[in-house]
Homo-oligomer: A and B are copies of this chain.
Amino acid sequence: MLRVGIVGASGYTGVELARILSAHPGVEISVATSRRYADMPLAEVFPSLRKRVDIVCENLAPDALADRADFFFTAVPHKTAMDIVPVLLAEGKKVIDLSADFRIRDVSVYEQWYQAHSSPELVAEAVYGLPELYRRKICGARLVANPGCYPTSVILGLAPLVRERLIDPATLVIDAKSGTSGAGRSASVATLFCEVTDGFRAYKVGGTHRHIPEMEQELSALADCPVTISFTPHLLPVSRGILSTMYAALTTDITAGELQSLYEATYEDEPFVRVCPAGSLPATQYVRGSNCCDIGIQVDERTGRVIVLAAIDNIAKGASGQAVQNMNLMTGLEESTGLLGAPFFP
């Protein structure tokens, strides 16, 4: 039984990690930290966990943490993560970091979008935790940088097109919509129920969202040339769910049927990527509460553009579910252990 620790257990990715791990046959949660809720049972912070999770939150320094578990998830804000992760690694632990701190391989790019990096050497070592692209590397990693929620949907959605050079990357327009859990669990007027419900808005328009360099890094690697994207995030009045709608000009005469076949072949053996049958489209309500990424492809013959739609649950496949998938790989467990539950609908 693997002893796992959750650093930063009181946010939405924390409670989702606890939910998934509580039903995972190969692990036990041996430590959970929270500054705000120190000494409080996690099931008191999140009553959904009653009778399922009995860990008590602690406020522990990184060095006091290390011997409390064999494997760690750091679910804390960027910048905080880069101070904790090196300590845990130094103690011989494996770590999955859910923040942005180890996702961007080019430290100067990281520092341009975030702030100075205190552990650039670990950046070089970290593996980008998208199993569908980096499965083998993840298996051997000590440190996995768990992908951002938007990037997960975008990279899985575009990978076949970009890798096969079927689109002109300069024409990429990505219009993404996320549930409000992506905004975190801090008290703020902007995410109060009454400000969000029955409404819809964009935010960080004009190429300013911090997930952009992460997406461009991975798309550029797939394209084998620099890719710059237009990316606009929006806030949905739902708790969970991302739908990314992606547009690009096709560079060849490929048919919709051939594209469909390409996607189906690419993801056929993936347990968590589901290509919608021709003519049907993904929806966030069909992936809710699961580690699935659903992808649909359509061609607009009038304009020569392909439109790809990818749906995930932002705190499952977009965060905690994918983290557990990575943990399974890093620890030699069957990749899908604890993650095969079907989405909750309705």
Contacts and interface: CB of A to CB of B under 8 A. Distances in A.
Interface of A: 12, 15-16, 18-19, 22-23, 44, 46-53, 171, 173, 175, 177, 180-181, 185-189, 191-203, 205-207, 228-230, 232, 234, 236-241, 243, 245, 247, 271, 274, 276-277, 280-290, 292, 294, 296, 298-303, 305, 307, 309, 311, 315, 340-346
B177 A200 contact: yes
Contact of A344 (B47, B282, B289): B289
13 contacts: A19-B342, A47-B294, A51-B292, A171-B171, A186-B189, A193-B196, A198-B238, A200-B285, A201-B285, A202-B245, A232-B245, A237-B237, A288-B344
A182 to B, nearest CB: 10
A303 to B, nearest CB: 5
Contact of A307 (B15, B189, B232): B232
How many monomers of this chain does the complex have? 4
Nearest to A313: B344
Contacts of A193: 180, 191-193, 195-197, 237, 239
Contacts of A346: 12, 15, 181, 194-195, 197, 239-240, 315
A234 B284 CA distance: 12
A345 B228 contact: no
Given A181-B346, A205-B281, A243 B196 contact: no
Contacts of A185: 189, 192, 194
B19 A344 contact: yes
Question: Among A51, A236, A247, A344, which residue has the most Cβ atoms of chain B within 10 A?
Answer: A344
A165 B49 CA distance: 32
Given A47-B280, A201-B284, 11 more contacts: A180-B193, A181-B346, A186-B189, A188-B192, A193-B195, A194-B346, A198-B241, A199-B285, A200-B241, A228-B303, A230-B247
